[in-house]
Structure 1
Amino acid sequence: MVHGGRVNDTTHPEKCLNPGLYIVATPIGNLGDITMRAIDILTRCDGIACEDTRVTGKLLKHLGISKPMWRYDDHSEHRDRTRLLESMRDRAVALVSDAGTPLVSDPGYRLVNDCRAEGIPVTALPGPCAAITALTLSGLPNDRFLFAGFLPSKDKARRDMLAELAAIDTTLVFYETSPRLTKSLEAVAEVLPNREVAVARELTKLHEELRRGLPHGLIAYFEANPPRGEIVLLVGPPVAFAASEEDADAMLLEALETMKTSQAAAQVAKATGLDRKALYARAMELRRE
């Protein structure tokens, strides 16, 4: 919620920013990923609108910055947004989310829209984004991709959404929570069984992990190793080419980490169209190497 009136800071008038809204990306884990420009804006702005003042407060303390903070999230009322807009007419207000780039599955869409309608300047600072970080880390095709936010929490709605996106020839990128990951992987296995999948979690943090393979293999892994932390789920595009020997070996090695030899060969055969018996023989060789 937004409390109080506008912020008045005349201590260093020469350091004031032009009035308006400044969209500031913040680290998704590693605090070293904050940009110099983000630090500059947070230092010189008149106040900060944020999802959770406790989370943003920790970042500001790390940076040695003290600023008024106003809570602004998806549950904020219209009057809260109105107060922010009024402040931005002659003050610089930074908008941050708890982590990453605001508006990417985070609050801010209505605020930016209202600023545009009211003629209030909007400046966006590029920076950390979990979806892009996971995409580059995954090795899945990234010349074209579709970011689809969070998958629905209900089983049928989740499957329906995946079926709706099935015909799109591109890598699909979703955000997911750790308790729902295996349910989402099960839905992918049912609706998009031949697709390569990558699961990225705890990005930029100490226990960062990227697992890539076919859905059933990943389900087995995460059932045995319950995930923690924030997750990005990526689903590769439809297989539209004959896999090379190198591709097949890579997929077999991934599958063999969590599956029996026969299961791994069957999964890779289904995904690539290659001969299952030949893949089984190759999988046996890879196990011996």
Structure 2
Amino acid sequence: METPATLYVVATPLGNLGDMVPRAVEVLQSVQLIAAEDTRHSLPLMRHFGINTKMMACHDHNEAHAIERFLAVLREGGSVALISDAGTPLISDPGFRLVDAALEQGFKVSPIPGASAVIAALSAAGLPSDRFTFEGFLPAKAQARRTTLEGLAREPRTMVFYEAPHRLLESLTDLAEILGPERRVVLARELTKLFETVVRKPAAELRDWVAADANQQRGECVLVVTGYQAAADELPAEAIQVLRVLKQELPLKQASSLAAKITGLKKNQLYQYALDFLS
């Protein structure tokens, strides 16, 4: 049963209704109001599970205005459930302002865990998952997208992105060019649905595979990308920064010698790197 004056953040299925957890159904049936990203989209889910609770839209365009209505329910001792169109709310979905406002006013916020496209894709990717970074949607414009990827080129953690189907091929092309054609990438598409795809290939091969099959350019897409792995003889980023700063103030030999003392690396290795890349 729901607890009075509580905002529940409720995960819903990505596509397969069998993934709806029983506690989520119970909470949605018992709260006074459901804050839904799109009430029309959520209506079939409600009907399927016999949930008759009133819904009210809560999306990017009305969130500031709608928050007061949800807070009013909480102030009266009732409870509210927040849902998105699919998966766990707030993960590249609206709802942050509502949760923030509820906490600021002292109301309890309780998560009802369930499906998440990020975690589902990561769990099936076969890539390191002890540390990862979720980057949301890549920018829609080509230059901004490329700039973002350039900034992530040396990110050592596994990276997870959402991508719109009509931009999938462009993003894979940029991934292959900027991160390298051999960087391993997993496409997790239409997770839990009838035409689910989970395929892992080097970036260039995956781009060509998607380009050859228009069906793979449809539906909800998650990209999981292997983090950057430095070559054995490559300098750590911190050492490069130390060397760069010292080189601006000192002669190269002196800068290399001092950088070696600071970083513990060999002076000759630092000196040669500066000659090759910092001249």
TM-score, length-scaled by structure 1: 0.76
Distance 1:86 1:68 in 2: 15
1:215 & 1:123 partners in 2: Cα distance?
39
**Structure 2 equivalent of residue 115 of structure 1:** 102
Paired residue for 1:198, among 176, 186, 201?
Answer: 186
Deviation (angstroms), 1:195 = 1.3
Structure 2 unaligned runs (5+)? 233-279
Q: 1:76 aligns with which of 39, 62, 77?
A: 62
- Relative distance call for 1:85 and 1:41 in structure 2 (3 A) is same
1:153 alignment counterpart: 140
Give the match's secondary structure for 2:114. coil
Paired with 2:228 and 2:64, the residues of 1 have a C-alpha distance of 43
Mark the CA change 1:221 to 1:21 in structure 2 (over 3 Å): closer, same or farther: same
Tell me the equivalent position of 2:12: 26
Runs of 4+ more than 3 Å apart: 239-242
Structure with the greater alpha carbon radius of gyration: 2
User: How far off is 1:135 after superposition?
Assistant: 0.5
1:5-44 aligned within 5 A: 17-44=3-30
**TM-score, structure 2 as length reference:** 0.79
Amino acid at match of 2:42: T
CA displacement, residues 26-47 of structure 1 (integer Å, 9 cap, x when unaligned): 0001100011110110111111
Give per-residue Cα distances to partners, 1:52-86, cap 9 Å, x unaligned: 11111110101011110000011115232112111
Query: Conserved in 1, the CA contact under 8 Å of 2:162 and 2:223?
Result: yes
Show the counterpart of 2:74: 88
Q: 1:20 Cα deviation (Å)?
A: 2.0
The alpha-carbon distance between structure 1 residues 16 and 146, as it changes in their structure 2 partners (threshold 3 A), is closer
What RMSD, in angstroms, separates the aligned Cα atoms of the two structures?
1.4
* Aligned match for 1:58, one of 44, 58, 71: 44
CA contact (8 A) 1:17 1:44 kept: no
Match of 2:263 in 1: none
Aligned ranges 1:209-224 → 2 under 5 Å: 209-224=197-212
Task: Please report how far the alpha carbon of residue 240 of structure 1 lies from its aligned counterpart in structure 2 after TM superposition.
Answer: 4.6
Q: How many residues align?
A: 228
One-letter code aligned to 2:229: V
Q: Using the alignment, how far apart are the partners of 2:207 and 2:155 within structure 1?
A: 24
CA distance in 1, matches of 2:3, 2:179: 49
Query: 1:204 and 1:72, CA in 2 relative to 1: closer, same or farther beyond 3 A?
Result: same
1:174 to 161, 167, 178: 161
Paired letter, 1:177? A
> CA separation in 2, counterparts of 1:185 and 1:201?
14
Q: Conserved in 2, the CA contact under 8 Å of 1:97 and 1:107?
A: yes
Structure-1 separation of matches of 2:135 and 2:64? 26
Q: Which residue of 2 aligns with 1:232?
A: 222
Q: Deviations over 1:186-206 (max 9, x none)?
A: 110111014101101010111
Contact 1:195 1:239 in 2 (8 A): no
Task: Give per-residue Cα distances to partners, 1:218-274, cap 9 Å, x unaligned.
Answer: 1111111122110001111123579xxxxxxxxxxxxxxxxxxxxxxxxxxxxxxxx
Residue type of the partner of 1:51?
Answer: E
Q: Is the 8 A contact 1:176 1:230 kept in 2?
A: yes
Equivalent in the alignment of 2:235: none
The residue number in structure 1 matching 2:252 is none
Paired with 2:63 and 2:109, the residues of 1 have a C-alpha distance of 21
Contact 2:32 2:73 in 1 (8 A): no
Instruction: Tell me if structure 2 keeps the 8 A contact 1:197–1:235.
Output: yes
Separation in 1, partners of 2:50, 2:37: 20
SS at match of 2:81: strand
Determine helix, strand or coil for the equivalent of 2:29.
Answer: helix
The one-letter code sitting in structure 2 at the alignment partner of 1:221 is W
Q: Could you tell me whether the CA contact under 8 Å between 1:199 and 1:232 is conserved in 2?
A: yes
Structure 1: which amino acid aligns with 2:184? Answer: E
- In structure 1, the partner of 2:270 is none
Query: Paired residue for 2:91?
Result: 104
